[in-house]
């Protein structure tokens, strides 16, 4: 069944100048697959030397007409899901971990690879939309409003719609995660945008065989100073409001503080990130599952610090019962350990599934618990009660397997999400040759780092705002444009939290 997409992708490869903001996704279609060879040829009408005569003009016109017909056929092909994805509804439980991805990782299942990249794109959107610029009046927000979020990122054909933005309070001291504007008057003294919740459209739901709720968490994109702050300080989850009956279940204190802290003096922080997630998921499940009788799944994704938030929120949804017995799966990228062994056992015992994609040379997945972790004998772990354990299943990738990546000592490159998605695109199994399969644009790797071989001629850190966000006013002066609004909490948040038993008056 084909999806009626709103915006068609370019059918010819175009080299976007580095001053453009829009991220170059391999395809704006829901399920990317390799472009056909004839689409990589430059049509004659793009060669000025061949368009100087009347005859050549007529030929150009004819070729253009033929190409329009060919393009129409190509659109039909691109937007009819390939046979690989026709099995997605029946294979959804397996792809989302019903068998803990047994026999799907080595060699990697092509459908699983495609889905990992798709959810990775949802995660990457949290970086591409975030305003990191301290000279922006809106530093710390999403640059794009909810109603045009995906279209502003050239992802308008992803088949999902944003239903809520997520904010966190900056009471937590994590270097390079919270950003501040240099302006005297700012949109918020305390808040930063940290992600979003999106839900599949009717057309995509028909293709997937279920209504999919995506929770995407932002992490850190460049320097990794925050890793040094993981001082192995564990704390129980129950005092933080998560109703776990086992007091030995503990998680890293910085992560859970970021997830549960709030400040009622700020309209963006008056609900914690936890309360925002629980309220929105409750509302969506009530509407789609309870009222409409649809099958619903919850897919949580994040990179770096966002991976920790994804793990915590997925666990919380099941522990509190908000998920209502629906499938909850985490697709995490380059994430640290989150909790102790009791947390791992509780997480997996509740049936939450997690597939963690990591680069073996990345430091972040090795902390906290660098010495005492899930890899040491159980007896030794018992002697160290604060031993950290990863949850779920790990898919290890190695950036040295890619012939397109340079030899560098820059650890932020090893941690980069676009680089990790590039590795996924070329990974077939341990010991197998690296071969790209989806046509994902190589230039994406260097969007926010310097990792590609120089001979590829892709400049490092090429992605930036046009004119760094400045526009020309009516009087000819260069100014920062005002935004019409900053999306905040839906007015029914209090209602849904009250239904969940939250006492918001204390």
Structure tokens at 303: 């990179």
- Tokens for 261? 């802290």
Most confident of the ranges 21-25, 221-225, 365-369: 365-369
Q: Which of 131, 257, 362, 450 is catalytic?
A: 362
pLDDT digit string, tens, across residues 140-167: 999 999 999 999 999 988 999 999 999 9
Of 45-49, 88-92, 373-377, the one with minimum mean pLDDT is 45-49
Model confidence at 254: pLDDT above 60: yes
For residue 477, pLDDT over 90 is answered with yes
pLDDT higher than threshold 80 for residue 72: no
Mean pLDDT for the stretch of residues 73-83: 37
Per-residue pLDDT, 43? 35
Of 391, 421, 423, the C-alpha closest to 404 is: 423
In this structure, how many other beta carbons lie within 10 angstroms of the beta carbon of residue 205? 19
Q: Catalytic: which of 114, 136, 170, 304? A: 304
Q: How much is the average pLDDT of 263-269?
A: 91
Q: Which domains does the chain have, with CATH numbers?
A: 82-499 (3.40.50.1820)
> CB-based contacts of 421: which residues, under 8 Å, 6+ apart?
117, 120, 121, 124, 440, 444
Mean pLDDT confidence for 211-240: 80
Residue 65, pLDDT score: 54
pLDDT in tens, 403-429: 999 999 999 999 999 999 999 999 999
pLDDT at 50 over 60: no
pLDDT (average), residues 249-260: 93
Mark whether 184 is an active-site residue: no
Cα separation, 177 vs 303, in Å, equals 12
Q: Which residues contact 475 (CB under 8 A, 6 or more apart)?
A: none
Check if 87 is active-site.
no
pLDDT, tens digit (0-9, with 9 covering 90-100), for 176-213:
567 778 887 788 888 899 999 999 999 999 999 999 99
Q: How far is CA 114 from the centre of its chain?
A: 14
What mean pLDDT is predicted for residues 344-348?
96
Distance CA 426, CA 420 (A): 10
pLDDT at 49 (0 to 100): 38
* pLDDT greater than 80 at residue 386: no
Per-residue pLDDT averaged across 280-285, rounded?
98
Indicate the range of 274-278, 281-285, 291-295, 435-439 predicted with least confidence: 435-439
Instruction: Report the chain's mean pLDDT, rounded to a whole number.
Output: 83
pLDDT digits (tens, 9 = 90+) for 108-123: 999 999 999 999 999 9
Q: Report which secondary-structure segment, H or E, holds 160.
A: strand 160-169
Band (pLDDT 50/70/90 cuts) for residue 37 is very low
Would the pLDDT of 372 be above 90? no
Of 392, 393, 387, which is closest to residue 341 (Cα–Cα)?
387
- Look at strands 296-303 and 339-340 and give their pairing: unpaired
In this prediction, residue 187 carries a pLDDT of: 82
∠ CA 377-378-379 to the nearest 5 degrees?
Answer: 90
Asked if residue 307 lies in contact with residue 335, where contact means CB atoms within 8 angstroms, the answer is yes
State yes or no: is 147 an active-site residue. no
Q: Where are the alpha helices (DSSP H) in 245-304?
A: 253-260, 273-285
Local confidence band at 5 (pLDDT 50, 70, 90 cut-offs) = very low
473 CB-near residues (< 8 Å, 6+ apart):
479
The residues, any chain, with a CB within 8 Å of residue 222's CB and separated by 6 or more, are 176, 412, 448
- Between 68 and 252, the higher pLDDT residue: 252
Confidence of residue 291 (pLDDT cuts 50, 70, 90): very high
Q: What is the DSSP letter of 375?
A: T
CA separation for the pair 12, 15 (Å, rounded): 10
Cis, bond preceding 148 (omega within 30 deg of 0) = no
Is residue 90 scored above 70 in pLDDT? Answer: yes
- Residue 174: the pLDDT is 62
Q: How far apart are the C-alpha atoms of 291 and 273, rounded to whole Å?
A: 26
Structure tokens at 123: 């995660």
Q: What contacts 9, CB < 8 A, 6 or more positions away?
A: 27, 28, 29, 78, 157
Q: Is residue 87 pLDDT above 90, yes or no?
A: no
Q: Which of 25, 303, 390, 415 is catalytic?
A: 415
In whole angstroms, what is the distance from residue 489 CA to residue 458 CA? 40
């Amino acid at each position: 069944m084909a999806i009626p997409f709103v915006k068609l992708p370019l059918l010819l490869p175009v080299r976007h100048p580095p001053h453009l903001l829009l991220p170059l996704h391999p395809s704006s279609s829901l399920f990317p697959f390799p472009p056909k060879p004839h689409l990589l040829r430059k049509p004659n009408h793009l060669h000025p030397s061949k368009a100087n005569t009347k005859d050549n003009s007529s030929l150009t016109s004819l070729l253009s007409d033929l190409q329009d017909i060919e393009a129409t056929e190509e659109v039909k092909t691109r937007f009819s899901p390939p046979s690989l994805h026709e099995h997605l509804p029946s294979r959804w439980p397996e792809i989302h971990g019903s068998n803990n991805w047994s026999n799907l990782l080595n060699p990697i299942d092509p459908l699983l690879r495609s889905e990992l990249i798709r959810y990775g794109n949802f995660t990457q959107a949290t970086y591409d939309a975030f305003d990191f610029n301290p000279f922006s009046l809106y530093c710390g927000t999403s640059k794009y409003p909810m109603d045009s979020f995906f279209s502003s990122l050239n992802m308008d054909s992803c088949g999902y719609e944003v239903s809520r933005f997520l904010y966190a309070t900056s009471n937590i001291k994590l270097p390079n995660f919270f950003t501040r504007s240099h302006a005297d008057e700012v949109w918020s003294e305390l808040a930063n945008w940290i992600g979003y919740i999106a839900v599949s459209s009717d057309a995509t739901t028909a293709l997937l065989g279920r209504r999919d709720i995506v929770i995407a968490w932002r992490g850190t994109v460049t320097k990794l100073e925050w890793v040094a702050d993981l001082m192995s300080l564990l704390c129980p989850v129950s005092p933080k409001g998560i109703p776990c009956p086992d007091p030995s279940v503990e998680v890293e204190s910085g992560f859970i503080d970021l997830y549960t802290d709030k400040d009622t003096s700020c309209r963006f922080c008056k609900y914690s990130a936890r309360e925002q997630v629980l309220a929105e998921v409750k509302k969506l499940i009530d509407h789609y599952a309870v009222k409409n009788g649809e099958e619903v799944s919850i897919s949580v994704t994040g990179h770096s610090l966002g991976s920790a938030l994804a793990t915590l929120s997925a666990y919380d949804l099941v522990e509190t019962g908000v998920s209502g017995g629906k499938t909850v799966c985490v697709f995490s990228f380059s994430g640290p350990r989150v909790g102790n062994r009791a947390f791992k056992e509780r997480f997996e015992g509740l049936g939450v599934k997690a597939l963690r994609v990591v680069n073996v040379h990345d430091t972040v997945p090795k902390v906290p618990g660098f010495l005492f972790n899930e890899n040491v004998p159980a007896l030794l772990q018992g002697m160290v009660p604060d031993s950290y354990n990863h949850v779920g299943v790990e898919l290890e990738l190695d950036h040295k397997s890619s012939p397109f990546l340079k030899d560098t000592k820059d650890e932020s490159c090893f941690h980069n999400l676009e680089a990790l998605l590039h590795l996924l695109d070329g990974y077939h199994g341990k010991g197998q040759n690296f071969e790209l399969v989806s046509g994902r644009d190589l230039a994406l790797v260097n969007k926010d780092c310097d990792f590609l071989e120089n001979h590829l001629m892709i400049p490092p850190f090429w992605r930036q705002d046009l004119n760094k966000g400045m526009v020309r006013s009516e009087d000819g002066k260069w100014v920062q444009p005002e935004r019409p609004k900053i999306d905040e909490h839906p007015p029914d948040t209090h209602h849904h939290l009250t239904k969940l038993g939250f006492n918001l008056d204390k």
